[in-house]
Amino acid sequence: QVQLVQSGAEVKKPGASVKVSCKASGYTFTNFYLHWVRQAPGQGLEWMGIINPSSGSTTYAQRFQDRVTMTRDTSTSTLYMELSSLRSEDTAVYYCARMTMSGGTWDFWGQGTLVTVSS
């Protein structure tokens, strides 16, 4: 069965960076796009960007363009999202989610990773 298992909660200080992982299993890792989405406490969902695990190509939301880096390791079927220059507003749950390469079909989601930014 398809699973996206994310790394555990993180606590970071303002100005630091955080790297969240998302390990995929149950399907061919390079055959599906993966997105990163975040949700601040009590707020809605926010799209951060997408990566093609096959080529490594990425597209980021404009507001994260200069602070986010999405990478993947095909040998371990793991996706990474690194966010730098953290500020308190980056406190949120970060999710990875899978999408088909044709038809834009979103299906499975990771369980989420809470990142807390606090001095």
Could you tell me the smallest distance in angstroms from the CB atom of residue 106 to other proteins?
A: 5
Which of 46, 69, 71, 114 forms a contact with other proteins (CB under 8 A)?
A: 46
User: Which amino acid is present at 46?
Assistant: E
Q: Are 78 and 18 in contact (CB under 8 A)?
A: no
Minimal distance, residue 98 CB to other proteins, in Å = 9
Beta bridge pairs of residue 12: 117
d(CA 28, CA 13): 36
Taking CB under 8 A as the rule, does residue 34 contact other proteins? no
Determine, following the binding rule CB under 8 A, whether residue 31 of this chain makes contact with other proteins: no
Cβ contacts of 97 within 8 Å, gap of 6 or more:
4, 34, 35, 36, 37, 106, 108, 109, 110
By CB under 8 A, tell whether 110 contacts other proteins.
yes
Phi, psi dihedral angles at 62 (to 5 degrees) = -55, -40
Helix ranges (DSSP H) in 4-88 = none
**29 versus 95: smaller Cβ distance to other proteins:** 95
Q: How far is the CB of 31 from other proteins (least distance, A)?
A: 17
54-73 residues near other proteins, rule: CB under 8 A: 59, 61-62
List residues near other proteins by CB under 8 A.
35, 37, 44-47, 50, 59, 61-62, 95, 97, 103-112
